[in-house]
Amino acid sequence: MSMNLRALWILSKLLSACENIDPVKECCDQVCQNAILETATKLALKASEVLIIAGSHGITEHSTKVDDCKHIALRWLAGKLEPSRAKEVLRGLSNCKVNRVCPLVFPDMRHVAKGCGNDISNKTECCSAMENYVSHLQKQSLITNLQALDCATTLGMKLQRSNITKDVYSLCHITLKDFSLQVAKQESGCLLPSLPSDATFDHSSGISFICDLNDNIPAHWPSKSQLSAPCNKTIKIPALPAAANAQIGLYNEDVIFYVLFAASAVTMMLLQSFV
């Protein structure tokens, strides 16, 4: 295949992998993300060749080049898609980064370990220690459905390392919502739908977002061998809220506005030399 045909083939693969991403599945399956990485790797290789021919010595690390080239691949992709579709794809990809980790800080769990110790000899004491502990987590942040799964797994692992081997989540009826900020006046937690970008900003009312208030999904006690929770297909999570209540005016630092691209003459030149 000639260079141009091969480049076109890679780009059409990129387009078909990314034009219809499922924002929740993409975070696990990484179909589009892998296509972007593949394109970026090839692009970086090509860029090195161009620089060598031009007599310039490559001083940039290969990984840095690949990262730069990811932006070029994304720019190209965004230009090929309808604006609304492009926005959806780029937000979906950004959300995967946000959803990959539990954003909560887990304080010392000595009290839980003590309350739930001795094989949970006293259920009342154990659950009161557990409730007290999660009430501290609730003060930290609004989280998404996917993050709540991560957080439940992370805490479960930590508790198991403190010798609490029984499923204290089911014993004490801990749900995913228990990990997130509790919404004022409602005695219930607020989980954002899977996409943090469902939050919107309005100059008069501030940040508003949709809460997933009606699903009481029990927190899943992790098994010893468990991998990253959101990608476990046996656990069902609602992609969108079953019944939504808009909550207006709360500010949350986790709501991130993404600036993905910075156009530069160099990246445009590289792109043109590639296609």
Ligand X SMILES: *[C@@H]1O[C@H](CO)[C@@H](O)[C@H](O)[C@H]1NC(C)=O
Residues near ligand X (CB under 6 A) are 122, 124-125, 162-163, 220, 223, 225-227, 232, 234-235
> Closest distance between ligand X and the C-beta of residue 190, in Å?
25
Using the minimum distance from each CB to ligand X, give the nearer residue, 156 or 196: 156
| CA pair distance 172, 181, nearest whole angstrom | 19
Measured between alpha carbons, how far is 209 from 173 in angstroms, rounded to an integer?
27
Task: Note whether 137 and 102 are within 8 A (CB).
Answer: no
Q: Which is nearer to ligand X, 86 or 120 (CB)?
A: 120
Nearer to ligand X, 28 or 50 (CB): 28
Residue 118 Cβ, how far from ligand X at the closest point, in Å? 11
Q: Which is nearer to ligand X, 196 or 222 (CB)?
A: 222
What's the number of CA atoms in the CB half-sphere (13 Å) around residue 90? 22
Contact 271, 70 (CB under 8 A): no
Minimum CB separation from ligand X for residue 175, in Å? 16
CB of 223 to ligand X, least distance (A): 5
Nearest residue (CB) to ligand X, 36 versus 146:
146
What is the nearest approach in angstroms of ligand X to the Cβ of residue 107?
A: 16
- CA dist 77 and 71 (Å) reads 10
